[in-house]
Amino acid sequence: MLLALLLLGPVLAAPSRQIPVPKLAQAEQDDGFASKPLSFTRDGTFQISIFEDLHFGENAWDTWGPQQDINSVAVINKVLDRESPGLVVLNGDLITGENTFLENSTLYLDQIVQPLVERRLTWASTYGNHDHSFNISGEGILERERRWPNARTQNMVPGRDAGVSNYYLPVYAAECNEMNCAPELLLWFFDSRGGFYFQERHPDGSQVGQPDWVGVSVVNWFEQTNQQFVAKHGRIIPSLAFVHIPTEASQALQVENGQDSVNRNYQPGINDDYPVAQQAQGWCADGRNDGTCAYGGQDVPFMQAIVSTPGLMAVFSGHDHGATWCYKWDHLVPGMTVAGTGVNLCFGQHSGYGGYGNWIRGSRQVSVDLRTLRDNWEAQTWIRLESGDVVGSVSLNATYGNDWYPATPNDKTFCPTWSFQKKINPVRRRI
Ligand SMILES: *[C@@H]1O[C@H](CO)[C@@H](O)[C@H](O)[C@H]1NC(C)=O
Ligand SMILES: *[C@@H]1O[C@H](CO)[C@@H](O)[C@H](O)[C@H]1NC(C)=O
Ligand SMILES: *[C@@H]1O[C@H](CO)[C@@H](O)[C@H](O)[C@H]1NC(C)=O
């Protein structure tokens, strides 16, 4: 009998495919709690949990699509049962826009944030190429996010060429507030755009592609705003950055000395996307994206800004689901025009059951400690897997890249209902 129940369990559970969505009224009782600035804990630490490439909303008309989203919510819950972040970052490709319907495309956001609202966590998003599509826009997702008082996502840079999720968040020491203290940490969020412009078509009916790099107006805003912080407080404020699509530097470092450039013990992580896809992929330098160019180099201004921002400890990206390593960019890779000055370029872990690849789902954690932050610009990072295990735990300190760490196992997880044959509208990564 017990065995029969166990076997029947999944079958009985099957008809209920709706993810319960929290009531907005409940969250509104916490009115404005995300308007309070982020702060370190009393013991001087600040932790971030990054979920990326959740890819909600695939094939709503098949059973496997909604099942994927149920599994993805479970990933978020399993990670947050074990980690206690001060902020959750949703680092792009929240929703697979090209699978969605105009009338309800942004509603998936409510499913994604359910585990965060229940835990009274606040979050901040960057948008990915799949969040910009014919039936979904960054503006639309932002509007949906802002219904929740937990949301910290903003749009600080106007203009069609900027994208949407460009903003910063200051983090203060526990005993301070915005009025009388300098921030101890700055978090920068960038929109690497890509995908397609919302509801736009060329005269021939085809959709209008959006450039897939951080725009120049955003780079200028970043540099000017950071300089204002330095001038106002008379010191460099350490920082972390989040952007969905990595820059050319990640690919250049990955292939510099062939397949073994990313070393399993010095840059522990999965390294199956070889080479990784980067900003400005698929665009020509002259602005064409007609499939004739591999990479147009338009992310050079953004890379220059990254390497000339002292105190920027690490840039975290997603997009490449089969890459989960961190690399300290501290030299000029032959063929590049921008030389690294020690910033760590990190991938996270594919968190969603949507999107390509079956690498085990999880979430990169980042933690900074005031005792090592001010002088050494150090961060700790590790990946919490859906299984509960921790892999790839490293210190992004001065010697990262020379310190030996255990290799990360290349584990896979499969969605029970996922069927390749049924996937009539495959989601390709190289769009
Ligand atoms: C959006 O509408 C489609 C078509 O009616 C439906 O299958 C899907 O479940 C809806 N999605 C959401 C999040 O409401
Ligand atoms: C966009 O949404 C509309 C309305 O639901 C739907 O008919 C159409 O197929 C969708 N278009 C694309 C390109 O996904
Ligand atoms: C960096 O961290 C590693 C691992 O904890 C440690 O072995 C190494 O000594 C640290 N380097 C510095 C400069 O603190």
pLDDT tens, position by position, 59-118: 999 999 999 999 999 999 999 999 999 999 999 999 999 999 999 999 999 999 999 999
For residue 418, is pLDDT > 60?
no
pLDDT tier for residue 24 given thresholds of 50, 70 and 90: low
Is any atom of ligand 3 closer than 6 Å to the C-beta of 403? yes
Position 6 scores a pLDDT of 38
The answer to whether 314 and 247 are in contact (CB under 8 A) is no
Average pLDDT over residues 118-143: 98
Ligand 1 centre from 36 Cα, in Å?
Answer: 34
Domain residue spans in the chain? 2-424
Ligand 2 centre from 132 Cα, in Å?
Answer: 14
pLDDT tier for residue 176 given thresholds of 50, 70 and 90: confident
User: The domain 2-424: what is its CATH number?
Assistant: 3.60.21.10
Q: Give, in order, the Cα–Cα distances in Å from 24 to each of 7, 113, 144, 316, 422.
A: 36, 11, 11, 30, 35
Shortest-distance Cα residue to atom 6 of ligand 2: 101
Select from 266, 267, 378, 403 the residue to mutate for testing ligand 3; criterion: most ligand atoms less than 8 Å from CB. 403
Is any atom of ligand 1 closer than 6 Å to the C-beta of 107? yes
For residue 5, is pLDDT > 80?
no
Q: Any residues with Cβ below 6 Å from ligand 2, and which?
A: 98, 101-103, 134-135
Position 72 scores a pLDDT of 97
Percent of the chain at pLDDT > 70 equals: 88
Ligand 3 centre from 396 Cα, in Å?
Answer: 8
**What are the pLDDT digits (tens) for 306-318?**
999 999 999 999 9
pLDDT tier for residue 423 given thresholds of 50, 70 and 90: very low
Percent of the chain at pLDDT > 90 equals: 85
Rounded to 5°, angle at Cα 98 from 20 and 201: 135
Position 26 scores a pLDDT of 52
Position 414 scores a pLDDT of 81
**What are the pLDDT digits (tens) for 140-169?**
999 999 999 999 999 999 999 999 999 999
The pTM for the full model equals 0.92
For residue 15, is pLDDT > 50?
no
Ligand 1 centre from 104 Cα, in Å?
Answer: 6
pLDDT tier for residue 13 given thresholds of 50, 70 and 90: very low
Shortest-distance Cα residue to atom 2 of ligand 3: 395
